[in-house]
Structure 1
Amino acid sequence: MTNPNLATGSIWRLHHNDQEIALLTVTGTDMPWTHAEVDALSGFDEFRPLFREQQRGLGEEDWERADACYTHIRSALTMTFPDGGPVAEFMLHIHDDGTAAWRWHDEPFDVVSP
Structure 2
Amino acid sequence: MTHHDLATGSIWRLRHDGREIARLTVTGADMPWAHADVEALPGFEEFRPLFREQERAVEEEDWERADACYTRIRGVLTLALPDGGEVAEFMLHIHDDGTAGWRWHDEPFDAVDQ
Q: What TM-score, normalized to structure 1?
A: 0.94
- Provide, for residues 43-84 of structure 1, a one-character-per-residue CA deviation record: whole Å limited to 9, x for no partner: 000000000000000000000110000000000000100000
Q: Partner residue of 2:45?
A: 45
Deviation at 1:18, TM superposition (A): 1.4
Q: Distance in 2 between matches of 1:57 and 1:111?
A: 19
The DSSP-based 3-state class of the residue aligned with 1:83 is coil
Q: Partner residue of 2:88?
A: 88
Q: Partner residue of 2:108?
A: 108
Matching residue's letter, 1:58: V
What are the ranges of 5 or more consecutive residues in structure 2 without an aligned counterpart?
A: none
The DSSP-based 3-state class of the residue aligned with 2:51 is helix
Q: Partner residue of 2:28?
A: 28
Alignment of 1:61-80 (within 5 A): 61-80=61-80
Deviation at 1:108, TM superposition (A): 1.6
The DSSP-based 3-state class of the residue aligned with 2:110 is coil
Matching residue's letter, 2:42: S
RMSD: 1.1
Q: Partner residue of 1:15?
A: 15
Matching residue's letter, 1:10: S
Percent of aligned positions that are identical: 76
Deviation at 1:110, TM superposition (A): 3.4
- Provide, for residues 88-111 of structure 1, a one-character-per-residue CA deviation record: whole Å limited to 9, x for no partner: 110000000000000001112235
The DSSP-based 3-state class of the residue aligned with 1:47 is helix
